[in-house]
Amino acid sequence: MARILIIEDEKNLARFIELELKYEGYETKVCADGRTGLNTALSESWDAILLDLMLPELNGLEVCRRIRQNNKTIPIIMITARDTVLDRVSGLDSGADDYIVKPFAIEELLARLRSLLRRVEALATKELTTLTFKDLSVEIESCVVKKGEHIISLTKREFDLLVIFMSNMNIVLTREVLLNKVWGYHTGVETNVVDVYVRYLRNKIDEQNESSYIQTVRGIGYVMR
Ligand code: CA
């Protein structure tokens, strides 16, 4: 069952949340100050953290920031008595995934918790598709393109074009085929737009003085090999 850490200094509220979570089948632990909360968050494994904003020792924003330095993915819901845009923004800036304002209905907290846990589970079970060629790699679902360790930022069109090349290694693709695959059949775009975008793409992925990742096949089109 999912393990939830509750970092909240109001004893009655913490007790109430804990009872409700246990009733729902979660495993829980309560920490009543920021420093203990941070240490517990980092030293044990948790599926989600409920984090009060105003805490003794170390405030919730700081706790959140320090958890995020070590763990980018664990879901954190910030709980606060204040509801100002500034609080909400700084809560989310510090790395919280969601935000709930006191007093809240416990059903709402439970619903948000379930939704965060579902999101994490969906991400964890989804297989990421990665295409690679030499030092280039493309993660399809996250749209991340890397050359070695460096992230290359591409426009949507450039990304689509690169994916077509990388999923058709060693196959010569005509301008018409590329146009159809990337721009669609009925766009009425001139085929030389393909040349323009291949040039954009080469500028971003090629090294000077080295042969291009995308080769021109004179009179026909392009090929990645
Ligand atoms: Ca508090």
* pLDDT, position 30: 98
CA–centroid distance, 103 to ligand 1, in Å, is 12
CA of 8 to the centre of ligand 1 (A): 6
Cβ-contact 164, 178 below 8 angstroms: yes
pLDDT score recorded for residue 210? 85
Amino acid code (one letter) for 138:
V
Percent composition of the chain: helix, strand, coil (DSSP 3-state, to 5): 45, 20, 35
Distance 72 CA to ligand 1 centre (A): 24
Q: Which residues pair with 173 in a beta bridge?
A: 222
- C-alpha 43 to ligand 1 mean position (Å): 22
Residue 76 CA to residue 73 CA, distance in Å, equals 9
Divide the 225 residues of the chain into consecutive groups of 10 and give the mean pLDDT of each group.
Answer: 95 96 96 97 95 94 92 88 70 81 92 88 71 91 86 89 94 91 73 90 90 93 94
Do the beta carbons of residue 43 and residue 70 sit within 8 Å?
A: no
Pull the structure tokens for residue 55.
């805490």
Helix residue spans in the chain (DSSP H):
11-23, 34-43, 60-70, 85-93, 106-125, 156-166, 175-178, 192-205
Please report the pLDDT score of residue 128 as a whole number.
66
Compute the distance between CA of residue 45 and CA of residue 59 in angstroms, rounded to an integer.
21
CA distance 87 to 81: 10
Cα(59) to centroid(ligand 1), Å:
9
**Cα–ligand 1 centroid distance for 73 (angstroms):** 24
Q: At what angle do helices 156-166 and 192-205 cross, to 10 degrees?
A: 90
Confirm if 210 and 216 have CB atoms less than 8 A apart.
no
What is the rounded distance in angstroms from the CA atom of residue 160 to the CA atom of residue 140? 10
Q: How much distance in Å is there from the Cα of 10 to the middle of ligand 1?
A: 6
Domains and CATH numbers, the chain: 3-124 (3.40.50.2300), 127-224 (1.10.10.10)
Distance in Å, CA 74 to ligand 1 centroid:
21
139 contacts: CB under 8 Å, gap ≥ 6: 128, 129, 130, 145
Tokens representing 142 are 């996250």
Structure token digits, residue 83: 């509801």
Give φ, ψ of 221 to 5 degrees: 170, -130
C-alpha 69 – ligand 1 centre gap (Å): 23
Q: pTM for this structure? A: 0.57
Pair type for strands 48-52 and 3-7: parallel
C-alpha of residue 55 to centroid of ligand 1, in Å: 5
pLDDT at 14: 97
